[in-house]
Amino acid sequence: MSKGTEGDMKEVELNELDPEKQPMTGDGQAAGGEKNGSVKVKVPEDEVTFTGLSKEELMKVAGTPGWVRTRWVLLILFWLGWLGMLAGAIVIIVQAPRCKPIPEMNWWNEGPIYQISDVEAFSDGLEGIADKLDNINQLKVKGLVVGPLHTVQANRPETLDLQEINPIHGNKEALRTVIEKATRKGISVVLDLTPNYEGSNPWFTQVAETVEKVKTAAEYWFGLGVQGIKVSNLDTVFNSTEWSKLQAAVQTNLTDDGPKRALIGVVQGLPAGDVLRLVNTSGVNLILSDLLSQNNQGPKLLQDMGTLNSEQRSVAWGLGATQQHQLSKLATTPALVRLYQLLLFTMPGTPVFTYGDEIGLQAGQGSESPKMIWDTEEPGKEGSGNTTAEQEERMAIRKWFISLSDVRVKERSLLHGDYYPLHSTATSLSFLRVWDQSERFITAVNWGPGPVALKLKLTKDVEDVALPEMAKVKLSTDEELKTDSMVSLDNLTLKPGQAILLQFPFKG
């Protein structure tokens, strides 16, 4: 047999190998039968699929004694766990200190009131006020007192027209624009309707008749969107036969969803006890007195604050504000301006400022109103990139004012907290503000010419109120008392003209 025939025969034998023994390669047949990598695969004829238990089978198993006992055990454990959590929640609620209910707060309690007595000096009329509302809103102001704006000649009641705006101030459309823009920013507009505001007697001599005119005018301006009215010399008119009608005109929307209307009265020269009696008998929503301007004795000021503390939501404080003077008329240095700003923002009551107080604007000469300065909005002149020392001072005072206003509107202890005197001298004072489980605050100020060592201690034991050994500096006019640093309450010395606001937490 030839070699070619032999090769052909071997090839036939390889091709006749069992297909199950073919190699797992795609390159043709491997010579010599089975080799590593060959797989023998058998496909089962019948594939079995698991379908689980039928409903009847499940019910049969579920009814067995073992599963019944297991279910009961799990059910009992579930309810025991649930009852345990409920009992634990009840214990926590019972043992936790109860929160004191928040007193009724109105817009005149929630932030400072800003009065613009001379709209020309402030911003060249009512239109200018509308343009400056963004600036005012940055101060966290809640009430804006405008005017008086009405037409009248001094001491001549026949010229009084409380429903007409003196053209030198603007017109009703400009006032309506101010009201609309202010309302959108959460600022309530109050109109000063003191009748004879340039004369010797703010109510002329025909008091009842004048009060009736104010009542009619108030209803008119409320219709245009005004949310409050302010009048001076409250103590001379609240006994008038027409006074109750004015009250009724202000209070007609007490059940409405919108902001309540406010009746604000101003008094001067009255002691704290008389101011308190007016709060309880006159029916006004807020009384602004000049108690802070009357004296500068620390013990007397603490006593006055204590007298009025129980009615603090109806009491307003200002320094020069009753006469619509700038704060700087009595606080004659930038340091004192900062000091009285801190004091006003932390006293138990509503702080009232006259335009320019936020920058330490110098009061005018005599009865002249000072021109407002707006250079804090645009530092530098003509692109020079520099500011004058006076401008920098105004900017710093405004920043300080905003910091104080921001703290007050956020902290419950300062908004409506209880008041406790701590320590005072002839030229200094300190007091504590506390509300329930909120952060507590201590105000300490020294307006005297020399340093004062304050011993910050409660003058009497008060339940659930105690002073810690140390407190944190929240705000300070003294550069050596850094913000967030800790100071000892047993040994705190304030330099002349310095003020500090301390903070410490509630500990149950």
> For 490-502, what is each residue's pLDDT tens digit?
888 999 999 999 9
Residue 203 CB coordination number (10 Å):
22
State the Cα–Cα distance between residues 429 and 487, nearest whole angstrom: 17
User: The pTM is what?
Assistant: 0.81
Q: What is the mean pLDDT of residues 251-263?
A: 76
Read off the tokens for 318. 């200002």
Domains of the chain, by residue range, sit at 108-377+388-410, 420-504
- Compute the mean pLDDT over every residue in the chain, rounded to the nearest whole number: 87
Q: Which residues pair with 494 in a beta bridge?
A: 452
Residue whose C-alpha is closest to residue 421's, from 453, 459, 452 = 459
Closest CA to 442 of 463, 426, 423, 459: 423
Tokens 């959460």 -> residue: 186
Assign 3-class secondary structure to 270-316: CCHHHHHHHHHHCCCCEEECCHHHHCCCHHHHHHHHHHHHHHHHHEE
Amino acid identity of residue 299, one-letter, is P
Q: Is residue 334 pLDDT above 60, yes or no?
A: yes
48 falls in which pLDDT band (50, 70, 90)?
low
| pLDDT bracket for residue 42 (50, 70, 90) | low
Q: How confident is the model at residue 1 (pLDDT cuts 50, 70, 90)?
A: very low
Q: Is the separation of the CB atoms in 344 and 319 below 8 Å?
A: yes
Which of 133, 100, 127, 86 minimizes the C-alpha distance to 114? 133
DSSP state of 41: -
Between CA 110 and CA 116, with CA 114 as vertex, the angle to 5 degrees is 155
Burial class for 210, CB neighbours closer than 10 Å (0-12, 13-18, 19+): buried
pLDDT band at 228 (very low <50, low <70, confident <90, very high): very high
Q: What are phi and psi of 354, to 5 degrees?
A: -95, 150
Render pLDDT for 420-439 as a digit per residue (tens, 0 to 9).
999 999 999 999 999 998 99
Weakest mean pLDDT among 96-105, 231-240, 476-485: 96-105
Q: What's the maximum distance between 2 C-alpha atoms anywhere in the chain?
A: 155
| Total number of residues shown for the chain | 508
Confidence band for 507, pLDDT divided at 50, 70 and 90: confident
DSSP 389-439: HHHHHHHHHHHHHHHHHHHHHH-HHHHH-EEEEEEEETTEEEEEEE-TTS-
Tell me the pLDDT band of 19, cut-offs 50, 70 and 90.
very low
Segment 280-294 mean pLDDT: 95
**How far, in Å, CA of 445 to CA of 443, rounded?**
7
Q: How far apart are CA 187 and CA 133, in angstroms?
A: 9
Closest CA to 426 of 301, 334, 326: 301
Mean pLDDT to the nearest integer, 243-250: 93
State the amino acid at position 46 in one-letter form.
D
Q: Give pLDDT, residue 491.
A: 84
Residues 6+ apart with CB under 8 A from 454: 422, 423, 428, 430, 444, 446, 492, 493, 494
- What is the C-alpha separation between 190 and 228, in angstroms, rounded? 4
pLDDT band at 41 (very low <50, low <70, confident <90, very high): low
| Tokens describing residue 141 | 């102001």
pLDDT digits (tens, 9 = 90+) for 335-370: 999 999 999 999 999 999 999 999 999 987 777 899
CA dist 201 and 223 (Å) reads: 28
Is residue 135 pLDDT above 80, yes or no? yes
Residues of 270-292 as b/e, b for ≥16 C-beta within 10 angstroms? bebeebbebbeebbbbbbbbbbb
- Kindly state the average pLDDT of the residues 74-103: 81
Where residue 164 falls among pLDDT bands split at 50, 70, 90?
A: very high
Whether residue 431 contacts residue 305, with contact meaning beta carbons closer than 8 Å, is answered with yes
Percent of the chain with pLDDT over 70: 84
DSSP 508: -
Half-sphere exposure of 93 (CA within 13 A, CB side): 6
Enclosing H/E stretch for 58? helix 55-62
Instruction: Say whether pLDDT at 38 is over 60.
Output: no
Identity of the highest mean pLDDT range in 58-62, 68-72, 177-181: 177-181
Range list of β-strands (E), 34-155: 113-116, 143-146, 150-153
Which residue in this structure is represented by tokens 């004091």?
Answer: 343
Q: Is the pLDDT of residue 508 over 80?
A: no
Residue with tokens 């000072």: 370
Establish whether the linkage from the previous residue to 195 is cis, with ω within 30° of 0: no
d(C-alpha 458, C-alpha 431), whole Å:
9
Q: Record the tokens describing residue 143, joined without a space.
A: 């009430």
Q: Which CATH number fits domain 420-504: 2.60.40.1180, 3.40.50.300, 3.40.190.10, 3.90.700.10?
A: 2.60.40.1180
DSSP 466-479: ---SEEEEEEES-T
Closest to 151 (Cα-Cα) out of 163, 143, 139 = 163
Which residue did the predictor score with more confidence, 15 or 404?
Answer: 404
Which pLDDT band holds residue 3 (cuts at 50, 70, 90)? Answer: very low
Query: From CA 435, how far away is CA 207, in angstroms rounded?
Result: 42
Structure tokens at 30: 């491997």
Using pLDDT thresholds of 50, 70 and 90, give the confidence band for residue 53. Answer: low
Domain 108-377+388-410 listed as CATH 3.20.20.80 = yes
Cα separation, 414 vs 442, in Å, equals 10
> Nearest-CA neighbor of 406 among 90, 142, 160, 211?
142
Which pLDDT band, with edges at 50, 70 and 90, does 224 fall under?
very high
Residue 11 has pLDDT above 70, yes or no: no
Lowest mean pLDDT, pick from 24-38, 85-99, 360-374? 24-38
Lowest mean pLDDT among 3-17, 326-340, 494-508: 3-17
